[in-house]
Amino acid sequence: MRLVWHGLKVGNAGFTLVEVIVVSAILVILTMIAVPSYMKSRLETNRNACIENMAKIASAVEQAKTMGFSEPTYEQIFGVDGFIRAIPTCPSTRLPYTQFNPPRCPSEIEDHISPLTE
């Protein structure tokens, strides 16, 4: 005599090993497809953010030059009294920008090039 629970046989509940392996394989394949796309979009986002930071720095340098500073110093560009309050960092490496005339990415990643310096 078998026990019946709401119309299901208790002895047949669960998954077979083949079903678990098939589901695991499908998850691995989906992961293999998704991860490279995610990494590519993340690199592209970091690149665009870095280029935007360099454009802001170049704009601040131009503002300083129009205010009468022929060669603005780091303190005149960044800081509480500067044109940019917080020192921006490269999103890829979190290194602060130290060269600002012309602006350069501190990470020296090849495709992090300001369009203003080309």
Residue spans of the domains in the chain: they are: 14-118
Q: What does the pLDDT read at residue 102?
A: 83
Residues 6+ apart with CB under 8 A from 49: 91
Residue 22, C-beta contacts closer than 8 angstroms, at least 6 positions apart: none
Backbone angles phi, psi at 20, to 5 degrees: -65, -40
Residue with tokens 């509480």: 80
What is the mean pLDDT, run by run of 10 residues, along the chain of 118 residues? 57 82 97 94 93 90 88 85 87 87 83 69
Residues in the chain: 118
Position 76 scores a pLDDT of 85
**Are 87 and 96 a contacting pair, CB within 8 Å?**
yes
**Under a CB-based contact definition with an 8 Å cutoff, are residues 100 and 94 in contact?**
no
pLDDT at 6: 62
φ and ψ of 89, to 5 deg:
-125, 155
The confidence score (pLDDT) of residue 47 equals: 92
pTM of the model: 0.71
